[in-house]
Amino acid sequence: MKSRHNRRLFRRNSRRRTMFLAAGAVIVAGCAQTVADWTPAPTPHDLQVKWVTHEHSISFNNQANLSNQASRSLDRFLSEIDLRPSDRLFVDVGPKSGEVVSDARVGAINDQLHHYIPGAKALLITGEKGSDREISLIVGRYVVLPPNCPDLSSPSSANPGNLNDSNFGCSTNRNLGLMLANPGDLLRGRTLGPGDGEALSRSIQKYRAGKITPPVALKVE
């Protein structure tokens, strides 16, 4: 009689335990994040800056001046690479060129560079590419690789982690990369020149004296 009563209690407790476990599993499953909802954090749309060089061989044929053919060839090269004010220019005259001849050749190249960029000046270097008959013009520049936008790779499902959308900041960085005149400024800013203290303080004096010129009003019709 007693054993039968114990079996009933055991069955009743087992049913209760099963019900509690099932209810707990349902609650945990409802609160847990499913695998389909999980997504890694999107990769930032950073700008990538690279240093590239363009080289052009210039034939002098043991002379100091550019021939007409060499001049036309140099013009084509400068037009193809779209010479920019931020480019860095080097002339490799080779290890065996004389100083007087080398200076004259670099001067002839600089004269032609001035037609594209006023004041452009190539630096003379003695590398391994130049020779008595031929020297090399090297144009170095920084280029920026903007991100591809829009980036719609984020899933359209729930975002319980409150992560940024994959397109977040994409167009901002892309526009910044496209508007830069010198992408090298992203790596290191330019050194500022000395400021004019008198000119800078004049605006403060006008502000304190109430002599600020109001902006010109525009009439919109």
Domain ranges of the chain: 48-145
Write the DSSP symbol of residue 183.
Answer: G
Give CATH for domain 48-145: 3.30.1330.60
* DSSP per-residue string spanning 122-173: PEEE--SS--SSEEEEEEEEEEEEPPPS----S-SS--TT-PPPTTTTHHHH
- 196: buried, middle or exposed (CB in 10 Å: 19+, 13-18, 0-12)? exposed
Cis omega (within 30 of 0) for bond into 150: yes
Q: Which residues of 122-143 are buried (b: 16+ CB within 10 A; e: fewer)?
A: bebeeeeebbeebbbbbbebbe
Express each pLDDT in 21-73 by its tens digit: 666 565 655 555 444 455 565 677 889 999 999 999 998 877 778 889 999 99
* In the predicted structure, residue 111 carries a pLDDT above the cut 80: yes
* In the predicted structure, residue 152 carries a pLDDT above the cut 50: yes
26 or 215, which is more confident?
215
Write the DSSP symbol of residue 119.
Answer: T
| pTM listed for this prediction | 0.62
At residue 50, the pLDDT reads: 95
Give the mean model confidence (pLDDT) for residues 95-109: 77
Mean pLDDT estimate for the chain: 80
Kindly indicate the confidence band of residue 179, based on its pLDDT and cuts at 50, 70 and 90. Answer: very high
Kindly indicate the confidence band of residue 2, based on its pLDDT and cuts at 50, 70 and 90. Answer: very low
